[in-house]
Structures are given as C-alpha cells and as structure tokens.
Amino acid sequence: MLLQGSEMVSAIEERLGPMRLTQEPIQVLLVFAKEDSQSDAFWWACERAGFRCNIARTPESAVECFLDKHHEIVIIDGRHSRYFEAEAVCRLIQATKPAEHTVIVAVVPQTPSDQEEPSCLPLLSAGFSRRFAENSSVSACYNELIQLEHGEVRAQFKLRACNSLFAALEQCQEAVEISSEDHVIQYVNPAFEKMMGYHRGELIGKHLTELPKSDRNSADLLDTINICMKKGKEWQGIYFSRKKSGDSIQQYVRITPVIGQGGKIRHFVSIKRPYSDNHRQVHKFSREEKGCAENSQSECNSLRHKDRRKESISSHGSDAPSLQNRRYSSMARIHSMTIEAPITKVINIINAAQESSPVTVAEALDRVLEILRTTELYSPQLASKEDDPHTNDLVGGLMSDGLRRLSGNEYVFSKSALHNMSQSQLPVPVPLNDVPPSIAELLNEEKLWEFNILELEAATHKRPLSYLGLKIFTDFGMCEFLNCTEATLRSWLQVIEANYHASNSYHNSTHAADVLHATAYFLRKDRVKGSLDQLDEVAALLAATVHDVDHPGRTNSFLCNAGSELAILYNDTAVLESHHAALAFQLTVRDIKCNIFKNMERTQFRTLRQAIIDMVLATEMTRHFEHVNKFVNSINKPMSAIEETSSNSEGSDCEGPASIRNSPENRLLIKRMLIKCADVANPCRPLELCIEWAGRISEEYFAQTDEEKRQGLPVVMPVFDRNTCSIPKSQISFIDYFITDMFDAWDAFASLPGLMEHLAENYKYWKNLDEMKCKSLRPLPPP
C-alpha cells in the first residue's frame, strides 16, 4: 500500500466532516509508582481539561487498567528506575492490541543546564510517542495534555477512522479505485478486482496510462474528463473500461478529486458499477456527456452536480436483482440520515434542482454552490480599499488574525497580577454598606442607561469595576446563587480588576465596568429577563466582568504578527478572548479567598463555566456577522412572523414567541448577542460618553500603529496614524459596518428606543464633523 499514515490523514481529512473522530471525554492513564507533585499536577491538569484519569502504581496494574479502559493517553514515570523500568512498562502496553492508537508519554528528569540533552531515540525505540521533562506546574501539564489532544491524539483518531473507512471500502459492492495526483494507482478494493479481473498486486503502483484502454470511448468524452480533472471538478457519466481478459465493460463512473494539504488535489477517487443498455436514464447521461463537452471551456459547470441519494436508487433498473434494489434503498436511507450537516443538505437540494434546470439556471446555481462552500459565509464583501480605507482597515484589524508573518521582534505581555501581585498586596475590599457616600450616590444611578461610568472611574481612582460589580452582583443575588460570601465576591472582584491594565487608554477596568453596566441593563429588560434563567444571568454578568482581563491594549492581529507567546499558545485563533477566559478561571481557583465557585455543585459549575467561556469567546470579532445573522434568522424573523400572525387573529397563542426564545439553542444566541452589544455599546451612549470612548479607542489604535512602525511589523490599520487619521470617519465606518444592523436586531428583540435615539444622534454628530472636514473629536474653535 503506497499511502502512509500521515498521507492518509491528509488525504481523508476533508472527507471526515460528518464523522465523529473524538471520544468524549479523553481518557488518561498515569503510571506512577508513588504519588508526588508531578503525578498530582497531571491529575489536576486532567481535571481542568475535562479528561478522565486513572492512576496505576505497578506495571501489572497499568496493563490491566489499560486493557479495561483503552486510554487515549498513557503517561509513564521514567524518573525513578528503582520502582520499575519505564521502557519495560511501555513495551508491555504496546504489546496489547488496543495500544495501536494510543499516545504514550515518558516523564523524564530535568536536564541540568550544564549537561547535554540526552537523546530521545531510546524512548522512541521502546515505543514512546514523546517525552515530558519533569515539571510539577499544573499549567505546564495542562498545556502538554491540550497539545497532545490537538496533535497526536487527534491524528490517531483520524488514523483509526481511516481503518474504519478502508474496512467499509473492502466490503463495498461498488468498485473503488484511488489514484494519486499523478494518476498512479494506490488502492483498489475487492469489488474492483472482481469486476476488472485483476489482482490488486498487478495494479498498485502502476500509472493509469499503462493499463489497456477501451476504444469505444469518444475522443470528446476523454477530453471532457481530462479537462474536469485538471480543473479539480467532479465527473460522472458512462465510460467503457477494458478488463484484463480484453473485453470492454460499460460502467457508470464517478471520479472525484480529493483536495489535501496545501489546497491541492492529492488523490482521485473513482467509483464504478456496471451499466445496462436498458437503463432508463441512458438519455439523461447522454445529455450530461454532451453538456460537459459543450461547456468544457467554462469549467464543465453543469456536469458534476447530481443528487447522490437519487443515484443510489435510480441508477439501477427495475429488472435488477432484488438484493441490489434493497442495498441501494439502504444506501439512500444512509444518505438521508442526520449525519449530514445542514449546509450539506442545502447543497444536495441545489444539486438536485440542477438536474432539471436550463443551462443558465444551472450555471447560476454553480455560482451559488461556490459561495456556499466558502468559509466566510457571514462576512459581507467590502468595497475596494481605495473606496473606503477606514472600513477596510477597521475590519481587517478587528476581523482577521493578522498576516501570520513573524519577525525577529517578539511582543511579550505585561506580566499580570497573577505573577507579580499576591493576594495580600491587594487593597482590602470594602463591604457594600461601607462604600463612601460620594461613590454610593453615583451607584444609585446605575440602573439608568445614562449612568456616567467615567464619573465613577474618577471617584474610585480608576477602580470602578469592584464597586459597580459589588452593587450589580448584589442586586442579582450572585452570592446566593454561587453559595459564597460577600467577602469572597469582593476579593474576586479585586483580583479581576487588578489584572486589567490601567495604563491602557481603552481596554482597562473602566471598559469592563461599562460592559458590566450595559449587560445588567439588558438583563433587566422584560423580554431578555423572560428568556434567560438565573444561571444565564450569572454567567452573563461574570463574563462581562472578565471579558477583557489582562488585555494588552493591542489587537489579535498585532499579537499574531508579533509572534507573541499567547498567539503561539492559541494557534493565532481568538488569541485574546481565549486568554481572557482561561486567565479568569486561573485567577479564581488559585486562591480559596477569591474562589467564588468553591461551594458550587460540580455539574452546575461546569454548565456555568461553559456559558461564561462561550460568551467571552463571542466577543471576538471574526465571527461577528455569523452571530448577528444567526440571531436575526433564528429569533428576530420567527418571532416577527408569529407576532404578525397573532395580531391578525383573535385568541392567538402568546406562548409561541416564548417557546422560540426559551429553547437552549436560542438562549445561547441571546446571550452571545447580549454581551456583543454590551461590549461595543459606546456609540449608543449619551454623546459626551460616546466622544470620550471614541477618543480612548483611537488613542489605543494610534499607539499600536506607532509600535508596529517601531518594530517593523505589518501595520494592521494604516488609517489609524495619529498624524493623519480622521476619527469621525473611523466612527462612521464602525457604526455603519458593525453597529447599526446589530443594534437594530437587538432593539427589535429587547426594545431599546433610548439607545437607538442616542445612536442616531451620535451618528449625526460624526457625520457633521466629517462634512466639516474635521478629523478630531470635537469641532475646531473658530479662528
């Protein structure tokens, strides 16, 4: 077999979308003779990662446990040979059948800095997958486990899936042939051997041109097939093949290019079955071949889209054996099962519609399919950069992860309070009843949308989050829900606020407090309150509080371009949002004095934790349009239709809208929309607050551009140059592109007329400044 393991993973990766590759949760076996800080660290790391963990103390018990559980990861202590030989334990496990797809890790001692790193070859020879240098940090062990999950373990799952797929191919009654991109045969199944009269040993490794060809295929047909293959298009139709005996056999053939690594064609899969002359669809296939020949210059637009479910049934005539009919009926049922993703079903419907469509319609549907197969389904197409540079730069900076171009300059985070401030160094939190009168007076207004967070910032000496958080959390019964004391809650707020960077002009604890205020305001709206339960409310308030913790004042694109440690850790994907969520829980659980979750029941905590993480990740802008469009299509439109129907009929059922809002899926969309709107609500604040926040975010972007130029990094948002930028234009672009549609949808749901009035007023303000050719926050004074 020419396909190696890594090649096979790449070859089928695109084909495994509907197939479940992972077992939940992953199981880990720790083989440690004695309990110590290293084994404890791996145990707690498994707990944090949500993995199931077993511990074995002897080689015998390790093998017994492994045979019982079939762990995906085995970690063997190789530091102390006086208890057992790690290599021997590894060989024992490798000798078992379930170990074929298991990742085995050796824990080895740290190498002193003055000694040379020992070779890993003996460990690899013994059967280990990798080694882990002794490190009793829970975070280090957690990172190791997560990297294993997304690396070796996932690869093993894919290889396991390959075995299942090839087992299916071996039993498949259709003839299957897989060739390389260069048309060298790499696999044929038994049905192919039987149909063509060859043994696979006679075929594998041979180029397709080396095999005898039937002379019954027209030159036009062969040209059409070649054009489709070169264009990466699927071809299907009637084809004559020559058997080993020399006889020609008429077949219905489907040839599918398989896109692999680098986006290139890596393999061709041909599926063949005998074709009868009395087949009822012979005229349709003749039309296909003719159509393909006519359209070969336009990428064979109309030849490749056929409904797979229909083929499995209709390609066999009524005179076929009943066993065959039953088999194809079964295939049709399999194709209609729920393993198909919704987008796949949509594509199949369009494919079926193309069968009876005129050429012009079929070509139009081709273009529709090309759009549907892209990954950017929810992102609008922008005008050219020359037409609207502000919008292009803003979108490029907020909705991409940078140019993936690393330089010699490494951007490093400021060390958070997790590293440089102990709990004892933080100011002693003030109980709510002891809040200074000047601050208490401001907090009395917090239920109003016009609440001035900047006045609270000044009164609290840039510590508004702790005070506002305590007030809002008390109003929402946070302590009662979490079963924690007010002192614990106060300590938690202090720790979280200490990890916001006061030096940031925008992403500081005042922004967090502002988002928390907006979140609480939205949660008090009747329709929102009627849609969410108390756990949802608590999750939303906690997510708002931590959603930008330890923000460095730079965008994700900047961090990716600078090759920051976090960008590498999170694979350039939702870097900051992943960091905010992870750090929030690290800060919470590291000290019992501020662990607000310590008394929660485990299942409820995991539900709350997932809700918080989901909401924090929803603030990442790359999926902005996806979240907004899902909210509009799943909530706004169905509710509007029901309400419209209800208004036109007497005694209508008012439970319809509530049932839409209260489904788990739609509650998730509501929470995401809520925190997204709270996070960028500045344009909907009173004008003076809107202006101040616009100045702060602009200053942060200016500072980023300055640093990009100093470090020689790609400038993500060139229009945010402090010497040339028009702040009014940037605000207009932001409102037009991100804010208006989102708040229209949120207002339609939550009823926020006051916010929409502020938004209209603020937009008019920026428009007037722009028309005056003013680039600053306020009109220039008259000369």
Q: Which residues are annotated as a binding site for AMP?
A: 507-511, 548, 679, 731
Is 305 assigned a catalytic role? no
Give the tokens for residue 716: 């993500």
Are 83 and 34 in contact by the 8 Å Cβ rule? The answer is: yes
Q: Give the 3-state secondary structure percentages of the chain, helix then strand then coil, rounded to 5.
A: 55, 10, 35
- Token pair 């300059």 is found at 409
Look at phi and psi of residue 67 and say left if phi exceeds 0, alpha if psi is from -120 to 50, else beta. Answer: alpha
Its sign, for the CA torsion 117, 122, 123, 124, is positive
| Cα 125 to Cα 75, 87, 93, 445, distances in angstroms | 16, 9, 14, 69
Do the strands 103-108 and 130-133 form a parallel or antiparallel pair, or are they unpaired? parallel
**Alpha helices per DSSP H over 266-384:** 282-294, 308-314, 322-335, 342-355, 359-372
| Cα 10 to Cα 99, 101, 167, distances in angstroms | 22, 17, 18
Taking each helix axis from N to C end, the angle separating 486-498 and 575-589, rounded to the nearest 10 degrees, works out to: 140
Nearest Cα residue to 58 out of 26, 95, 93, 28? 93
Check whether the bond before 782 is cis (ω within 30° of 0): no
Amino acid, single-letter form, for residue 674: L
Give the tokens for residue 140: 């280090």
3-state secondary structure of 79: coil
Nearest Cα residue to 490 out of 514, 468, 517, 512? 468
End-to-end Cα spacing for the chain:
83
Question: For residues 685-695, b (16+ Cβ closer than 10 Å) or e, as one string?
Answer: beeebbbebbb
> How far is 235 from 341, CA to CA, in rounded Å?
23
Q: Considering just the CA atoms, what is the radius of gyration of the chain in Å?
A: 31
> How far is 576 from 578, CA to CA, in rounded Å?
5
3-state secondary structure of 179: strand
Contacts of 389 (CB under 8 A, 6+ apart): 718, 719
Residues at the binding site for Zn(2+) are 511, 547-548, 679
Residues at the binding site are 507-511, 547-548, 679, 731
Active-site pick, 507, 517, 551, 579:
507
Catalytic machinery residues: 507
